Each structure stands twice: as C-alpha cells, then as structure tokens.
Chain A
Amino acid sequence: MSDLNQQMAERYKNNFLKEIEEQAEMGEWVKMCMQCGLCSGSCPTHFHSGWDHPPQEIFMLIRAGKREEVLNSNGMYMCTSCYNCYVRCPRKVPVTHVMHGIAEYAYKMGRAAKAQPTMHLSKVFWTNATKYGRVNEVQLTQSLYFKDGLAAGIKKGLEMKDVALGLVKAKRLNPLEALGIGHKCKDLDGIHRMLAKAYELEAQRKGRDTSKA
C-alpha cells in the first residue's frame, strides 16, 4: 500500500463514500444514483468481456464501503467517453465524469493495475501532450507499442505496419516526429510553470500530501 493510500484510508476510516465525495472529481454525485442500471446498459464496452464492475455497481460498492474492491476495479478504465450514460441518466448524474474522477483517484492511490492498457494510455497521453504543449502522435504511438518491452513493441509495430504506411502515404503521419521534430508550443516554460502551480494547488486543495508518497 502506498503511503498516500494509507494516509487516505486512515483519514476517512470507514467512510469510503465521504472519501470519494471529497477526493474524486464529481464524487459528490455518487449518492444520487438510484441503481436503475441505465448507465451500464448504455455502455458500448459493457457488452465486451473483461469488466469487473459497470458504473452502477461501482456506485453501490462505494456506498457499501468496499474500498479495496472499488480502487482495484478495472471498470473505470473501460470508459470510451461516449457520454451515453451521462445523457441518459434519469437522475442527471454526470456518470462519465464520475467514472473518470474515480479512475484518477484509484490511479493516484497507486491501486490501478499497472498493466491496464487504457490507464497506461491516459498516463502517456497527458505526459506527451504537456511535454511540448501539443500531442506528438508518433511518440505517443511508440510509447504505447513499447510498453511491454522491445520485442513486444516490434511485433506490435509490424502488426500495425499497413495502418502506419497508409497514413504516411496520405501525409497524416510524419515519421520525423519520432525525433521530437514537429509541433510544439512556443511558451513551453510558461506552460510548465503554470502546470507545476496547478499540481501544487490541487494537492493542497485535496489535502494529498504527495511529499510522503
């Protein structure tokens, strides 16, 4: 258990609902759920295998205080951000954003499975986008393919060869971006200072002492 996770578990004791309400973005909406299941039934990925818990189950587990089960669930990372659940919820719960908020909290508590591919994508996407201020699509793809090591990366690259060649031919993929040559913001220093301040304020506001984590 990470220090930060332990810190939070101790702070909130047996009140996991309160923990989610205060720590997860949009977490205050969880108590509005009336368990109708429209969110789960509207979810495009719910019909695939591999789900631990769809949204309505996550919400019930939170109210039942099942901290471990929720933070270890892969359910939040099945979200494609299609917003079906969000517009259909009869209680107007912004389900998509609540799921994103719980995902962020579980991830920051060090609980999400390291190999969860969509959580990994979230990490590399944000890191990539904030490095240059704009997304470098080639480096983004590389960091995805090589997440399981060199051999797996080369195999994945070969599988995707035809897709990549089609895009290069259509001038929609610039191989030079691999070298960091490509689109970036001019005021990168300003962006990085601004983000550093935002991380600091967010940690303060949520009472997450990251220095001990």
Chain B
Amino acid sequence: MARKEYAFYPGCSSQMGASASNYLVSVESMCRHLDIKLTEIPDWNCCGASISYAESGELPRHVMNARNFALSETNLPGQDIVATCAACWLGARESKERLENSDRLMADTQTALKEAGLSIKAIPEIRHMAEVLIEDLGYAELQRHVKKPLEGMKFAGYVGCQTNRPFGIAGESFENPMYLDKLIETVGGEAVPYDQKVTCCGGALAFSEPEKSQAQIKDIIESAYDNGAEMIVTPCPLCQANVEVYQGQINKRYGTKFDIPVLYYSQLMTLAYGGTAKDAGLNGNVVRARKLEEFAAK
C-alpha cells in the first residue's frame, strides 16, 4: 500500500493531448518517487474555472463542483481531493466553502444532484498538490529523495495568483510567498529574488484581450531575466502556458528576445529524483529547457 492516497482531480488542461499534459506526466513521475497514490475521481467534470462567471451563474457553477465532490465521496471514501491546477483547486474549494455556509445553496445543490443520481453527505477536503507536498510530506522528506541536485541552476519561482490568492498555502504571505523558492532549494536549485513573483499573467484575458495579458507577461519575464534567472518555475497550468507560449508574439510586439523555458515544480522534482527527461515531460515544453535536457541525460 502506498504511503499516502488521494482522490485525484487532474482537471481539463492536464488530460492527454491538452495544454498541460506534461504537467500530469511529471506529477505522476514525482508521485511514484514519493510513494503517493493518486486515484482519478471517476468521470470527474470541469470546475467551470474562473472565467465562466457571466454565463454560468451561481448555482450551476457550484453544482458542477458538487458533482465531483459526490463522485469522490462515493467512490473514494475518506480521501482528500487533490487538484494540480490552480483554478480547479480554487473553484472547488470556493464551492465547498459556499455550500457549507449556506443551507439554501446546499439544499438546491442536492436537488440538482439528484437528477444525476448523486448526493453529498460530507464534502471532502480540497487540497492543492503543493499543499500535499509541503504539509503532508514536508521539505525534509522531499529532500530525502533527491539523487541529482539541480546545482548551479537559477530559477525564478513564479507563484502567480490562484495558488496564492485567495486561499494560498497556510502560513505564507500573499505578497511574498516563499514555498516555491523553498521547493526549488529543496531540489538543489537556486531561487533568484525578483519583483514579479505574484504578478498576474492575465489569466483568461490571454485569450480575450491578448495585448493586456502580454504586457503583464512581458514584465514577469523581463524581471526574471534581469535578476539572473535561466528558467521560470510555476505551480499553475495557465501561468505556465501563458508565460511560455506567447514569448514569440511578445518578441514581435516589443522587440524583445525572450526565449526562457517555463517549467512546473513537478518537472524539477522528477529530474532531481533521478527521473528521465521523458518522465519529467520535458518534451512537452514549447520553449525547450536544453539545460535540463542535458542534465537529465547525464
């Protein structure tokens, strides 16, 4: 039996062939090394993300999350739900809070769930993978598994918004959270201080108003470069995609020469634990992390 077991909520972007599929690959590798067992919630659905607010309304959005709670509770009793996506975590956790604090919302939700043959007894805890690593395992345990420290590599830990606000990791500040820097140092890398650690990448506005979003992304990347970072690391799939894939367009718009790889914490950890480039999903990076590819091949 694995040391820790969780009900896993991968979310839409982490599915095979989707925009964060390499996040999932690296999370699975990382969890193998740490003896964490993730069991996917059967037939889970989309959380609605942050952007659906205008069309979804209140109850339908919470009902979508409630369906996942009911499926998790029924099929994986006693297990906390773990999300890897910042928006999934936030959306689900917000729905849990709202339902638990409103009898009327909960009653309406149960009525709607009945249409799908489901019901809620007690909503499981909703955790982010970073919380599981830090709170359930701890930095010392995470360090114990390091076989190949990422020595001499400089990373800008980009925490962004939704793994940090409004809930965040317990004990961390909203303005300067340190957990990602500590994770980078735990696997032997150097976390450079820089001033855009919690700046918003524009989120969904990267699709609807790209010029606004790209102006914000430019500030983030520029600050990472200015402070000596060779790579950016993030816990959020939308931060990762936004900061990585628009670098070409930003270069055209602003005459910059950005070419900085943007990794997930789980990719660094997989490599430090002795995993291959493939285990870490490095082939899923659009801006190739050549230094890490060479490191993995050694």
Contacts and interface: CB of A to CB of B under 8 A. Distances in A.
B261 to A, nearest CB: 12
Interface in B26-40: none
Contacts of A185: 43-45
A170 B205 contact: no
Contacts of B285: 170
| Chain A interface, DSSP helix/strand/loop, else mixed | helix
Contact of A104 (B57, B104, B284, B286): B57
Contacts of B44: 185
B68 to A, nearest CB: 10
Question: Which range holds the interface residue count of chain A?
Answer: 35 or more
Residue among B55, B60, B162, B283 with most chain A CB within 10 A: B55
Interface stretch (B9-17, B135-143, B226-234): B9-17
Interface stretch (B124-132, B144-152, B245-253, B268-276): B245-253
A84 B22 CA distance: 29
B113 A122 contact: no
A198 B51 CA distance: 19
Contact of A81 (B20, B45, B162, B245): B162
Interface string A69-102: 0000000010011111011100000101000110
B45 A133 contact: yes
B162 to A, nearest CB: 7
Nearest to B46: A129
B48 interface: yes
A55 to B, nearest CB: 14
B165 A83 contact: yes
Given A44-B200, A166-B245, A171-B284, A122 B51 contact: yes
A135 B46 contact: yes
Interface stretch (A4-12, A29-37, A56-64, A172-180): A172-180
A127 interface: yes
B18 A174 contact: yes
B165 A190 contact: no
A81 B20 CA distance: 20
Given A86-B165, A125-B49, A187-B43, A172 B205 contact: no
5 contacts: A80-B204, A126-B56, A129-B52, A137-B13, A199-B60
Given A166-B286, A170-B285, A195-B60, 8 more contacts: A80-B202, A83-B162, A100-B54, A126-B52, A174-B18, A194-B112, A201-B59, A202-B108
Interface of A: 25, 44-45, 48, 77, 80-84, 86-88, 94, 96, 100-101, 103-104, 107-108, 112, 117-123, 125-127, 129-130, 133-135, 137, 141, 144, 162-163, 166-167, 169-174, 177, 182-183, 185-187, 190-191, 193-199, 201-202, 205
